[in-house]
Amino acid sequence: MLSHETQIRVRYADTDQMGFVYYGKYAEYLEVGRTDMVRSIGVPYTEVEAKGILMPVSEMYIKFKVPAHYDELLTIQTSVASLPRASFNFDYIVTKENGQVVLEGQVKLAFVDKEKMRPVRVPGFILEAIEAAMKHASET
């Protein structure tokens, strides 16, 4: 399993009049989490698009536990439990500095050929990078 942590500080823009982070904003936080993860294993998303592959979100599930507030520093823990096939599945836990769990969630991305705008299976260069990272993770 691959796991990666990213920290995000809540912006004023992210809050709503309840004084909580607006629920739709977490989609951005989760994006940052998986972007940082794939960059860390050597597959920056800019390179993926440069190779003609888009990775739109096909499914999202979030269970909100406690609200996050302005200026809090959140840790986005992004995990990949299995090799991608038709889709690339990310599991998330977002926590506060005091350890409170803000949310748990899953996001699935599809692989789409940019020219044909058709779903494709995971491209080889992505699969290889993940296999290598998983091998490395299991050895350390």
- By CB under 8 A, residue 134 contacts its own copies: no
31 versus 134: smaller Cβ distance to its own copies: 31
**CA-derived radius of gyration, the chain:** 16
Lookup: tokens for 31: 């994006």
- By CB under 8 A, residue 18 contacts its own copies: yes
- By CB under 8 A, residue 59 contacts its own copies: yes
| The binder of its own copies chosen from 1, 3, 22, 52 (CB under 8 A) | 22
Under 8 Å between Cβ of 111 and 96: no
- By CB under 8 A, residue 19 contacts its own copies: yes
Euclidean distance between CA atoms 6 and 29, whole angstroms: 9
Euclidean distance between CA atoms 57 and 110, whole angstroms: 6
Minimal distance, residue 114 CB to its own copies, in Å: 9
- By CB under 8 A, residue 32 contacts its own copies: yes
